[in-house]
A = this chain, B = another copy of it.
Amino acid sequence: MKMIDGGVCAAKGFKANGTHCGIRKNRTKRDISLIVSQVPASAAAVYTTNLVKGAPLTVTKQNISNGIAQAVICNSGNANTCNANGVEVARKMCELVQRFTGIESSDVVVASTGVIGQPLDITPIESGMEQLVSGLGLNSQYAAEGIMTTDTVKKEIAVEFELGGKTCRIGGIAKGSGMIHPNMATMLVFITSDVKISSQMLQKALKSDVADTFNMISIDGDTSTNDMAVVLANGMAGNEEITCEGKDFETFMKALNTVNVYLCRMIAGDGEGATKLLECKVSGAPDKETAKIVAKSVICSSLTKAAMFGADANWGRVLCAVGYSGARVDVEKISCSFRSEAGEVCVCENGSGVEFSEELAKKILSENEIEILVDLHESNFEATAWGCDLTYDYVKINGDYRT
């Protein structure tokens, strides 16, 4: 498997674009994105578990209930959520795709991200469609930009691998930043592939992988109303269709996981106001679930996040978060270390502090990618969760988001 360029356009038969249509006031910010496949594709998706759901999710669910989709349209700047006419507007977005591309409106995935509770005006989208569609091409980066809100960098990746001698690709774009604490689904992630795979197996692959990737990120503990991860696989790579578990499915899963972990790290490292990517790696757990619960609890701890911002090796906060996680752990066995490019320092063994060089710890924690290593010393199960530090800028960004 190798990394390649092209994002969501790396897979055969996919084009994309992103433009400014006027939902956002700032004309330099793209606010609408479109991804289309040359042929109808197997589609799979997972959605937020928030009971307050964005209207686009309702429409997308209906549209891909047959396991088929051919296009994705997504705007930023307005979440189209908690609006009386939200579903109507989301449907209109799909109809616009049909009018301008010929793709059936019932084969369109629709998504929105931005402020909740403000009516979404269809007018700018309608008037921007011609430009959006005429620019369709190998423009993954524009599509990645069009879905950004407070994100500071666009998030895209693609990988190439072989299935039965055929070269296949998976690519993805994502938006993250704030209101990120996915539960069963995630922020916005659009993945394309030219692999031939049944929609059942695609859904199985996505659901299984999301549990270990996007659902293991937290920026601020707030599960968004509009989280959605979608994969379209159009089969144009020409591999023998994957219709059951086996070697090909494993290869596909591994490639999908590579794409998703990459996007997870990008989303976490670009959390609102973040200066550091935090990775909590839990090992020695009695089972996978325990490892995940512990890793996510540490990554969610405001106090740990603030300590990391200050490069303060305050490991008591890590232990505290392990203790209240809800997982059954033997506190007296826990060890904890901090690691980064600058080195590694063990700060706690058998649940109690050990002497360590504060100077080295400060150096390690001053890097911009920090690993928090927690070993439960019970068995050999592991899990990783991703997050970021809590900074002045998170407060600044969210103290006045709307105005």
Question: Which A positions have Cβ atoms within 8 angstroms of B?
Answer: 48-53, 79, 81-84, 115-119, 178-179, 181, 183, 220-225, 300-303, 306-307, 309-310, 312, 314-317, 319-324, 328-329, 331, 348, 350-353, 390-392, 394-403
Interface contact A316-B117, CB-CB below 8 Å = yes
Q: In the assembled complex, how far is the CB of residue A123 from the closest CB belonging to chain B, in whole angstroms?
A: 19
Residues of B close to A395: CB separation below 8 A: 306, 309, 390-392, 394-395
**Complex Cα spacing A391 to B400, Å:** 12
Copies in the complex: 2
Interface contact B82-A351, CB-CB below 8 Å = yes
Interface contact B398-A310, CB-CB below 8 Å = yes
Contact flag A320-B225 (CB < 8 Å), given A52-B331, A391-B395: yes
Interface contact A398-B52, CB-CB below 8 Å = no
Interface contact B319-A82, CB-CB below 8 Å = yes
**19 pairs of residues in contact across A and B, judged by CB atoms under 8 Å:** A50-B323, A52-B320, A82-B348, A116-B316, A117-B319, A221-B302, A222-B320, A223-B320, A224-B320, A225-B319, A303-B398, A306-B395, A306-B398, A307-B401, A310-B400, A312-B400, A312-B403, A314-B402, A390-B398
**Complex Cα spacing A5 to B117, Å:** 47
Extra inter-chain contacts (4) besides given A82-B348, A183-B324, CB under 8 Å: A51-B323, A52-B322, A83-B352, A221-B221
**Complex Cα spacing A397 to B117, Å:** 34
Residue of B whose beta carbon sits closest to that of A321: B222
Interface contact B52-A302, CB-CB below 8 Å = no
Interface contact A81-B331, CB-CB below 8 Å = no
Contact flag A82-B353 (CB < 8 Å), given A225-B323, A306-B399, A324-B183: yes
Interface contact B402-A392, CB-CB below 8 Å = no
B51, B53, B181: the one within 8 Å of A329 (CB): B51
Residue of B whose beta carbon sits closest to that of A303: B222
The interface centre, meaning the residue of A81, A316, A402 with most chain B CB atoms within 10 A of its CB, is: A316
Interface contact B353-A315, CB-CB below 8 Å = no
Interface contact A320-B179, CB-CB below 8 Å = yes
B53, B183, B329, B396: the one within 8 Å of A392 (CB): B396
Contact flag A394-B306 (CB < 8 Å), given A82-B352, A312-B399, A353-B118: yes
**Complex Cα spacing A116 to B315, Å:** 8
Q: What 5 A-B pairs come out closest when comparing CB atoms?
A: A116-B316, A310-B399, A52-B323, A306-B398, A223-B324
Interface contact B222-A50, CB-CB below 8 Å = no
Residue of B whose beta carbon sits closest to that of A390: B395
Residue of B whose beta carbon sits closest to that of A119: B353
Interface contact A117-B353, CB-CB below 8 Å = yes
**Complex Cα spacing A223 to B52, Å:** 27
**Complex Cα spacing A143 to B53, Å:** 49
B51, B321, B397: the one within 8 Å of A331 (CB): B51
Contact flag A401-B312 (CB < 8 Å), given A52-B351, A83-B352, A306-B395: yes
Interface contact A316-B81, CB-CB below 8 Å = yes
The interface centre, meaning the residue of A51, A309, A310, A394 with most chain B CB atoms within 10 A of its CB, is: A51
**Complex Cα spacing A394 to B115, Å:** 25
**Complex Cα spacing A307 to B302, Å:** 17
Interface contact B82-A316, CB-CB below 8 Å = yes
**Complex Cα spacing A377 to B330, Å:** 44
**Complex Cα spacing A302 to B398, Å:** 9
**Complex Cα spacing A322 to B117, Å:** 14
Interface contact B116-A324, CB-CB below 8 Å = no
Contact flag A300-B116 (CB < 8 Å), given A50-B320, A83-B353, A323-B53: no
Residues of B close to A321: CB separation below 8 A: 222
Residues of B close to A396: CB separation below 8 A: 392
**Complex Cα spacing A354 to B116, Å:** 12
The interface centre, meaning the residue of A115, A221, A353, A399 with most chain B CB atoms within 10 A of its CB, is: A399
